[in-house]
Amino acid sequence: MDAFMQAALEEARQGYHEGGIPIGSVLVHDGRIIGRGHNRRVQEGSAIRHAEMDALENAGRLPASTYRACTLYTTLSPCPMCTGAILLYGIPRVVIGENRTFTGEEALLRSRDVTVEVLQETACIELMSAFIRERPELWNEDIGV
C-alpha cells in the first residue's frame, strides 16, 4: 500500500476508534499531503462531514489551480455528495481503497474525465466490513438507507 493510501487508512482507523464511521481521506498536491480527514458525522453531529469533505475542509481555501493539480485518496468509493465536491473543485484524480462494501459515483467521475483508480486494499475492505457488521444501523444512516 502506498504512503498516501496508508495515511487515508490511518484516518479511517482514527474515526473508528472515536466511535465514528471508518472512512479516511487525504488530499495530495506535489507529492505531499495538504489536507487529511475522516468521517466525523457521529463525532460532530454533522450532516456533511464525510472523509473527503473533511480532508477538503482541513486543506483550507485553495486556488482552483491547486485543486486541479491534486489527487484525492479515499478508503471508500465516494458518495454523491463527495463526488460533487471533487467535480466542483476540478480534482483530476481519485484513488479509492475499495469499492466492494460500497460503490459510489465512480461512473459519474469517469464520465467527467476524472481518473479513478480502485485498489481493493484488503485492510480497507476488512475495516469497513467489520464496521458494517458491528454497526449496520449507523452505516445505513450514513449512506441514506
Which CATH number does the domain housing residue 12 bear?
3.40.140.10
Classify residue 16: in a domain, yes or no: yes
Classify residue 144: in a domain, yes or no: no
Q: Please say if 18 is a catalytic residue.
A: no
Among 35, 47, 46, 39, smallest CA distance to 16 is for 39
pLDDT, average across residues 69-80: 97
What's the confidence (pLDDT) of residue 139?
A: 86
Report pLDDT digits (tens) over 45-62: 999 999 999 999 999 999
CA distance 68 to 21: 28
**Count of domains in the chain?**
1
Report pLDDT digits (tens) over 91-117: 999 999 999 999 999 999 999 999 999
Kind of pairing between the strands at 93-98 and 115-118: parallel
- Strand partners for 95: 73, 117
Residue 79 has pLDDT above 90, yes or no: yes
52, 98, 105, 121: the catalytic one is 52
Domain range for 58: 3-138
Residue 64 has pLDDT above 80, yes or no: yes
